[in-house]
Structure 1
Amino acid sequence: MAKKTRKGVAAASSIADIDAAGIKLVQPDRSAPQGKTLLDFAGDQNLFQQADARQRQLNKERGVPKKAGEADSDNDDDDDDDEDEDENDNDAATVSPRAERILDTILWCVSLTMLHFTLDVLVQNQYAVEIEWHVVITRALQALGVFSLIFYNLHRHPSDPRLLPGLPTRFQDPLRQLLFFVTSSVTGCYLVHITNEYSYIAVLKQAPPIGCLWVWAVIELDLKWAVPSLAIAAGYMKLMGYTI
Structure 2
Amino acid sequence: MAKGRKAAKQPEIPLKRPIDIPEDEQWRIIRETGILNKAASQPAAKESSEQDDEFPLAEEIFIATTLFIPLAFFLLLMHILIHFQYRQEPKWGDIVGRMLSGAPILAAFVFYTNRHKGSRRTQFMLWVLALAAGIRLIYLVNYGNWLMNIQQCPPIATVWVLTIIQLELGPAVTSLVGVGLWVWWSGMQILFK
Query: What TM-score does the superposition give when structure 2 sets the normalisation length?
Result: 0.66
The percentage of counterpart residues that share the same residue type is 24
Is this contact kept in 1: 2:72–2:103, CA < 8 A?
yes
Question: What is the alpha-carbon distance in structure 2 between the residues aligned to residue 239 and residue 199 of structure 1?
Answer: 22
> In structure 1, how many angstroms separate the alpha carbons of the residues matched to 2:71 and 2:123?
20
1:217 to 2:163 alignment: yes
Query: Which has the larger Rg?
Result: 1
Which of the numbers 132, 136, 150 marks the counterpart of 1:186?
Answer: 132
Q: State how far apart, in whole Å, the 1-side matches of 2:56 and 2:166 are.
A: 20
Alignment of 1:73-112 (within 5 A): 97-112=56-71
Q: Please report how far the alpha carbon of residue 114 of structure 1 lies from its aligned counterpart in structure 2 after TM superposition.
A: 0.2
Partner of 1:146: 105
**C-alpha displacement of 1:224:** 1.1
Pairing 1:130–2:123 present: no
5+ unaligned residues in a row in structure 2: which ranges? Answer: 1-54
2:113/2:166 contact within 8 Å kept: no
Residue 114 of structure 2 is aligned to residue 155 of structure 1: yes
Q: Which moved more, 1:111-120 or 1:133-142?
A: 133-142
* One-letter amino acid of the structure 2 residue matched with residue 188 of structure 1: G
Question: Counterpart in 2 of 1:236?
Answer: 182
Q: Distance in 1 between matches of 2:56 and 2:137?
A: 36
Query: In the aligned structure 2, how far is the partner of 1:117 from the partner of 1:198?
Result: 21
Deviation at 1:182, TM superposition (A): 0.5
- Unpaired runs of at least 5, structure 1: 1-95, 157-161, 164-171
Please give the per-residue CA displacement for 1:79-116, whole angstroms capped at 9, x wherever unaligned: xxxxxxxxxxxxxxxxx812222222222112111000
- The answer for the alignment partner of 1:117 in structure 2 is 76
AA aligned opposite 1:200: W
Displacement of 1:121 in angstroms is: 0.9
Partners in 2 of 1:131 and 1:238 — Cα distance?
Answer: 33
Q: Matched residue of 1:131: which SS?
A: coil
- After superposing the two structures, state which structure 1 stretch, 212-221 or 143-152, moved more: 143-152
Query: Offset at 1:141?
Result: 2.5
Deviation at 1:183, TM superposition (A): 0.8
Secondary structure of the 2:131 match is helix
- The two structures have a TM-score, normalised by structure 1, of 0.53
The residue that corresponds to 2:151 in the other structure is: 205
Deviation at 1:127, TM superposition (A): 0.6
Structure-2 separation of matches of 1:110 and 1:186: 24
Paired amino acid for 1:135: D
1 or 2 for the larger relative contact order (CA 8 Å, sep ≥6)? 2
Q: What root-mean-square deviation, in Å, do the aligned CA atoms of Structure 1 and Structure 2 show?
A: 1.9
**1:181–1:226 Cα contact (<8 Å) kept:** yes
